[in-house]
Chain A
Amino acid sequence: MGGIRREDLFLGKEDFMGRNDDESESELGSGSDSESEEVPSSEPSKRAIYNREGILEKLEDISWPENVDWIHKLAVDLEEDKDLDVNDDIVRELAFYTQALEGTRQAYAKLHSQGVAFFRPPDYYAEMVKTDSHMLKVKGRLLEQKKKIEEAEERKKARESKKMAKEVQAVKLKERAKQKKEDIESVKKWRKQRQRSGFGADKGEDLGFNFDGGGGGGGFERSKKKRPGVAPGDRSGGSAKRNVGGKEKANRKRERRDSKFGYGGRKGLKKQNNAATTDDLRGFNKGDFSSKKRKKNL
């Protein structure tokens, strides 16, 4: 808030004096004593006039009679905060606010006991200090502020939820990886157990669970046998061609491509610009011109 605090003045003065001293030391005597007279005093000046009797006399002159009704003055005295920091805006304003509020309560008590109406009834309309148009402006500003705060909060929430989702996703992936590992481990374990117990040697029984791809000790190596009705790269063993699910999968891909690139219909209309796409430059490569590259190279 505006206003020049005395502390600032103290500081200013000290700086000034300090500099002055240095100067006078360094100088060869070009007499700058006249400056010091203009330096304002930060301490209470001794010559200040204070005529207590005169002031009290004047006070008696102008004051209203002693026995004047309180209702004429409506003045309330309140204890002030002794060590209030002037430069702390919030503390200072709070002190004024509490002073006013406490004063209001006391005044209300007094007026209420005298039977004087205090609050304005809600149906009492009269001219106000601020005009309606001004109050509209005030309201508009308040609403705008509220909106801004809400928007900021929303943005914050979205950011946080995004962060949360990322974490959740990471946990999920980790869990999935762990699950997979465990599965593989258990299969390996099971196989070892089987080998140890001697079943692994018997090929006839092994056909039932053809984990090794029929290769015995070959692990997950692909078998070199030709499979009837199955394409060479097909890992599903021909089931993709046969069953309905596989067909659907292929269709889905086709659908996606169709939706992306278009399928059927007249081509001419699609390739024309319309109002929405005229200014849409998203498809172009921005800022990656060859001229720039050349510049960089130079």
Chain B
Amino acid sequence: MGKKRKLGQQAEVAEAATPEEVSAPQRPKRTLLGWKDGAVGPVQENSSSGAAGARGGVPVFRNKEKVLITCSRRIMSRYRHLMLNVVSLLPHCKKDNKVESKSSKGATLNELVELRNCSYCMFFECRKQKDLYLWMAKCPNGPSVKFLVNAVHTMEELKLTGNHLKGSRPILTFTTNFNKDPHWMLLKEMITQIFETPKDHRKSKPFHDHVFAFAIVDDHIWFRNYQIVNQGGIEETTLVEVGPRFCLNPIKIFGGSFGGPTLYENPFYISPNQIRALEKKKKAGKYATKVKAKTRRKMHELENPLEPDEFADLWRE
């Protein structure tokens, strides 16, 4: 692992340094933990070009987001496959072992993210073998979002017939209602940073042959992935769906990563547990009303007894 990381960093530095070799003659000195005069945290690395120096005072931007993807224990196979699909779509991600979904998972995950040198974390949490929750967290300073995932279709489904290069950079398309509210804006920014493969990433490929569609419909974020089929020119281009498909229902946005103050709460959100309880109660109510009606009838009969029939003994001898 350590070796890999070193290589990656060296490659990045080499790439970054090449364009401005003329203007920046000396490289910053390297220490064991990073660069001497560069910023250490990944946030700063992203916002300004930490080590690579400046060209005429304008900081060169480098996208260095790395995403840790993991899931909870006892996750359903379908959801695990969804996670693996997402892993195959993001060449800049690192997959980690399953994490126990306890109340202390936030701390564990934060530690894990730091260990793996990542700036984002996607955590697929499966509860009750039924419900999938997806956490997207910017580490270590937040924010983090918790989604409920609905309508999951994995890439393995045979009706999704497209295919595309592994690691080619996707085109992200958003609907304009992402710019309407602050929380959607935040989600859009996070999604962009997570799902866009960094330019010149070593595992990325230099062509564009798939497109992600993020759309807000009915206060849910719908995700689709299409292959761009080249049929000789952009006008004749068609799309074929590759998958996966899912629909994200935002539940809460927190200030920190996997915790912290709540910034947003979905007012429409009803947990699947409540929905199931409701259905159960509806079913249970049917029997209860029947029993109640029976007792009521009995009480009524007892209270209002029939008058004795005066002709009852007429034919008896």
Contact = CB atoms under 8 A, between A and B. Distances in A.
Interface of A: 1-6, 9, 12-13, 15-16, 19, 23, 26-27, 35, 38-42, 44-46, 48-52, 54-56, 58-59, 61-65, 68-69, 71-80, 84, 86, 92-93, 95-97, 99-105, 107-109, 111-112, 117-121, 124, 126-130, 134-135, 137-138, 141-142
B220 A3 contact: yes
Given A127-B165, A129-B89, A129-B166, A99 B267 contact: no
A107 B171 contact: yes
**What 7 pairs across the A-B complex have the smallest Cβ distances?**
A103-B173, A44-B267, A3-B150, A80-B175, A48-B267, A120-B207, A48-B265
Contacts, number: 254
B192 interface: yes
Interface stretch (B25-33, B68-76, B96-104, B176-184): B176-184
Contact of B215 (A48, A80, A127): A80
Contacts of B211: 100, 103-104, 107
Interface in B245-276: 247, 253, 255, 261-268, 270-272, 274-275
B224 interface: yes
Contact of A118 (B47, B170, B208, B213): B208
A112 B255 CA distance: 40
28 contacts: A4-B275, A9-B270, A15-B282, A48-B265, A48-B267, A55-B182, A61-B43, A62-B138, A64-B63, A64-B193, A72-B61, A75-B173, A77-B173, A79-B176, A99-B175, A100-B212, A101-B238, A104-B211, A118-B208, A119-B209, A120-B209, A126-B165, A126-B166, A126-B205, A127-B166, A129-B163, A129-B166, A130-B163
A55 B265 CA distance: 12
A243 to B, nearest CB: 71
Contacts of B183: 50, 55
Contacts of B189: 59, 62-63
A4 B270 CA distance: 10
A102 B216 CA distance: 17
A197 B285 CA distance: 101
B108 interface: no
Contact of A95 (B143, B212, B215, B282): B215
Given A16-B278, A73-B172, A118-B207, A50 B142 contact: no
Contacts of B217: 80, 84, 86, 92, 95
Given A74-B169, A129-B163, A129-B242, A40 B275 contact: yes
A103 B171 contact: yes
Interface of B: 43, 46-48, 59, 61, 63, 88-89, 138, 141-143, 150-152, 155-156, 158-159, 161, 163-179, 182-183, 185-186, 188-190, 192-193, 196, 198-199, 205-209, 211-213, 215-218, 220, 222, 224, 226, 228, 230, 234, 237-239, 242, 247, 253, 255, 261-268, 270-272, 274-275, 277-279, 281-282, 285, 289, 292, 296
Nearest to B226: A100
Contacts of B89: 129
Dominant SS at the B interface? mixed
B207 A74 contact: no
B152 A76 contact: no
Contacts of A97: 213, 224, 226, 239
Given A100-B239, A121-B207, A138-B161, 20 more contacts: A41-B270, A51-B262, A55-B263, A56-B182, A58-B263, A62-B190, A65-B48, A76-B174, A77-B173, A77-B178, A80-B176, A80-B215, A93-B224, A96-B222, A107-B211, A119-B228, A120-B230, A126-B167, A128-B165, A130-B163
